[in-house]
Structure 1
Amino acid sequence: MMRVLHVVGARPNFMKVSPIMREMAKYPQKFNQILVHTGQHYDDEMSQVFFDELDLPRPDVYLGVGSGSHAEQTAKVMLAFEPVLLEQKPDIVLVVGDVNSTLACALVCSKLGVKVAHVEAGLRSFDRTMPEEINRVLTDQIADLLFTTERSANENLLREGVAQDKIYFVGNVMIDSLLRNKERALALDILNRYDLKPRAFALLTLHRPSNVDVPDVLAGIIDALEEIQSRLPIIFPAHPRTMRRIQEFGLEGKIARMSNLRVIKPLGYLEFLNLMANARLVLTDSGGIQEETTILGIPCLTLRDNTERPVTILQGTNTLVGTDPGRIVAEAFNVLSGRAKVGRMPELWDGHASERIVGILKELA
C-alpha cells in the first residue's frame, strides 16, 4: 500500500486535489491518504465552503500558517510541515499548482528524502518577477514525478533538464472538478440573486500584486472598467486585499460612482462557476480562470502581459490584453461586437486527468 500525503494551501489547490483524492479512494487496498492543509489561505469561512462543495474530507492536519511575506509564509510552512512529514512517514507527497505551500513542502521533502509528485508541472510564464514562477521552476527541479496539463509544459521541463521518464502528460485535474460540478453549479439560482441575465454581464476578478499593488496600474484598469460598464454590467467578487488597495489609493469613490459595476463578496466555487458559465465576458488576472473559461467557451480577457497557460490562447478562448486601458476596452468591445475568439477543448482536458494520475501511481504502489 502506498501512503500518499496531499498538500493544499490555497483555494485553487482544493479543486485540483479533490478529484485525485476521490479517484484514489476507489482503491483502498492500494492507497492510504493523508490530507494536510497548510492554512496559507486562512479565511476559515471561505476555505470551509470549498471543502464542503468539493466533497473534500476534513484535513487530517491543519498547519494554520496564515499570512505574511512570501519569505515568511514559505518559512512558516517549512517549519510546520517538517514534523508532520517525520510523523506521518508518507511514501510520496503530492503537491499541486504554484503557491508558496507547494514549494515549501516540496523543499522539506527533498531535504528528508521523501518523493514528491507535482501536479500541474512545467507551466511557465517566463517572468521571474512573479513569485508563482519561482515556485513552479524550483518545485519542478526537485520533484520525482511531474504531471503536466499541456504539451508545452513537457517541452519546458525537458529544456530545463528534467528527465523524460519523470514527466507524464495527463491533462488538467482542474477541468475534472469543473466538469463534475458544472450541472450542480448551473442549478443554483445565483443570477436572480444579483438580478443578472445570461450572457448579459461581464465577470471580473482582480488580485495579482502586479495589478493591484501599483497605483497607476490599478487606476488604469479601473478607467477601463468605467468604459466597459457603460456598455455591459460588470459583477466583481472582490478579494479583500484588492479592496484595501482601492481604498488606500483613493479609488473607492470612482468605483462607487460606476452604476453598472457591482462589487460583491468572494463567492464559493459553485456560485462562481455559475456566474462564469453565464457571463458574456470574463476579465481576470487569474491562471485557473483562463483554463475554465476555455472549457466553458466563454471569452476571457487576461489582464496580464504573459501567461503560463499558452494553450488557452492557442486553442482556447483566452486573449492577453495587458493593463493598458485602451487595449482592455478595445478587446472588450470586440467581444460585445460579436468578434470573440472561438476555442476548442485542449488535448486531454476531458475530465479524466485524475484517473490517469492515479493509474500511474497505482503502477508504482
Structure 2
Amino acid sequence: MRIMSVVGARPQFVKLGPIARAFRSHPEIEHLIVHTGQHYDPMLSDAFFADLEIEPPTVHLGVGSGTHGRQTGAMLADLDGVLEEHAPDWVLVYGDTNSTLAAAIAAVKMHIPLAHLEAGLRSFNRRMPEEHNRVLTDHAADLLLAPTEVAVQHLVNEGLGGKARLVGDVMTDVCFSTRDAVAGDHPTLPAGVSPDAPYVVATIHRADNTDDPARLSAIADALGQVAAPVVLLAHPRLVAKAAQAGIELARGGVHVVSPLAYPQMVRTVAGAAGVITDSGGLQKEAYLLRTPCTTLRSETEWVETLVDGWNILDPALERLTEVAVRPRPTGQQAQPYGDGRAASRVAQVLLDEGRPVEVGSR
C-alpha cells in the first residue's frame, strides 16, 4: 500500500515523526512524504526532520509564504502533478493548515482516498483559518482519524461518525518519547535566564494576535509585566509583524529568541513554571509535560486541557500577570490524549481499511 503524507508546518512535522516510524515497521506500506514548503525557515522545517528521524521528503514543493488563498492555490496547482506521478492508495493529511486543505482538495478532485489525522477538532471560531481548513477537510475525507472522544463526538454531531476512528493523539507519542530522551538535558535558555529559577516559555503567531498593531503591542506589554523571565520563541510571522508595526518585543523581562528544535523545546517547556501561547499544539504539549499554560485566545480545540486549571484562557489579557506563573494543579491528571501508541493504530487502521471501493461517495 502506497501512502502519501502531505505536510508543511511545524506541528505537522512533529506528528509525522511517529507516523513515519510506525509505517517503517510495516513492510507492506510504502510511505511517500510531500513537503509543501509552507514553513521554509530551517528551524521550523529541516531541523524537525532531522530531530524526529524522518526520512527526507520525496517531493518538496517550496511554496513559501503568501496570503491564505495564494498559498493554498499554489500548493493545489503543484499537487496535481505529484499525485498523477506517484498515484498513492491513500493521501494522509495532518491537522488544520493550508497544506492540509490543499492536499485534501487535490486528492478529492482526483478520486484518491483521503485520510485526515487529527480529525474532529473544533474551536467553533470561524474567524480562524485553521477552523475552515479542518472542517472542510473532515467533510471531504474518506477516513477520519480522531485523537479524542470529544473529537469523535463532534464528527458524530456533523453526520460523519461512520467514517470516524478513535486512534489517540500522535502528539502524545512523540512528546512522551522525546520527554524521556531529553530528561537529563539542561533547558535551552538565553543568557540571563537561569534554569534554577522560575521562567516562562511563550509563543505568539495567530493572526488575531499579530495583525492588529494595538493588540500585538498590548500582548508585548503584558508579557513584559510577567513576574518571571519570559523566553519568547519568536515565530517568523511574529517577528515580521512586530517589525512592520515598529513594536519592540524585548521589553521588561522578555527575551526574544529563535524557535527551538523540538527536543530542546520539550525539555525547556518541561522545566518551565508556565507557558503562554496561542498555539493549539503547545497548549497540549504543556498539558502532557505537566506545565501550567495560559492561552491568549477565547477558545481552544483542546478543551480537555482546561480541566483542573492546567490551561486558562485569557483573551483579554486581564489575568496574565496573575496566572502566568502559578502552582501546578494537584491531584491525578487525566489522560484524554491516549497512551503514546496512536501512530501504530493509524498504520493498522489504514491497512485494515484498504482502498475504499467507491472513492468520492462523500
User: TM class, shorter-chain normalised?
Assistant: over 0.9
**How far 1:153 moved relative to its partner?**
1.0
* C-alpha deviation, 1:343, in angstroms: 6.7
What SS does the aligned partner of 1:325 have?
A: coil
Aligned residues with identical type, % of pairs: 40
Amino acid at match of 2:292: P
Query: Aligned-pair distance for 1:232?
Result: 0.8
| Worse-superposed segment, 88-97 or 234-243 | 234-243
Verify: 1:182 aligned to 2:179, yes or no. Answer: yes
Aligned partners of 2:189 and 2:231 also within 8 Å:
no
| Letter matched to residue 23 of structure 1 | A
Partner of 1:282: 275
Residue by residue over 1:44-97, the C-alpha shift from the partner in whole angstroms, topping out at 9 and shown as x without a partner, is 454111100000001011111111100001100110011110111111011000
> The residue matched to 1:5 in structure 2 has which SS?
strand
Note closer, same or farther for the CA distance 1:237–1:106 as it changes in structure 2 (3 Å cut).
same
Aligned to 2:294: 301
Structure 1 residues not aligned, in runs of 5+? none
The aligned counterpart of 2:89 is 91
Partner of 1:249: 245
* CA apart distance, 1:329: 2.0
Using the TM superposition, give the Cα deviation of residue 331 of structure 1 relative to its aligned residue in structure 2, in angstroms: 2.5
1:199/1:167 CA distance change after superposition, 3 Å: farther
The answer (yes or no) to whether the contact 1:321–1:331 under 8 Å persists in 2 is no
What letter is aligned with 2:287? T
Is 1:266 the counterpart of 2:259? The answer is yes
**Of 162, 165, 170, which residue of structure 2 is paired with 1:165?**
162
TM-score normalised to structure 1 length: 0.92
Letter in 1 for 2:228: L
Which residue identity is paired with 2:65?
S
Cα RMSD (Å) of the superposition? 1.8
Q: Distance in 2 between matches of 1:193 and 1:330?
A: 24
The farther-off stretch of 115-124 and 347-356 is 347-356
Provide the rounded CA distance (Å) in 1 between the counterparts of 2:332 and 2:38.
34
2:46 corresponds to: 48
For residues 296-326 of structure 1, what are the alpha-carbon distances to aligned partners after superposition, in whole Å with 9 as ceiling and x for unaligned?
111000010111111111367211111x232
Equivalent in the alignment of 1:317: 310
Q: Which moved more, 1:241-250 or 1:219-228?
A: 241-250
* 2:318 partner SS: helix
Alpha-carbon distance, 1:27 to partner: 1.2
Question: Residue 186 of structure 1 aligns to a residue in which SS?
Answer: coil
Q: Where do residues 104-183 of structure 1 align in structure 2 (5 Å cutoff)?
A: 104-162=102-160, 164-183=161-180
Asked if the contact 1:146/1:167 (under 8 Å) is kept, the reply is yes
Cα-to-partner distance string for 1:118-161 (whole Å, 9 max, x where unaligned): 00001000011100000000000010110111111111111112
- Whether the 8 Å contact between 1:300 and 1:318 is mirrored in structure 2 is yes
CA distance in 2, matches of 1:315, 1:7: 36
Confirm or deny that 1:349 pairs with 2:338: yes
Q: Which residue of 1 aligns with 2:10?
A: 11
Q: CA deviation at 1:346?
A: 2.5
* C-alpha contact (below 8 Å) 1:146/1:166 kept by paired residues: yes
Alignment of 1:327-346 (within 5 A): 327-332=319-324, 335=326, 338=327, 340=329, 344-346=333-335
Cα distance in 2 for partners of 1:315, 1:86 equals 49
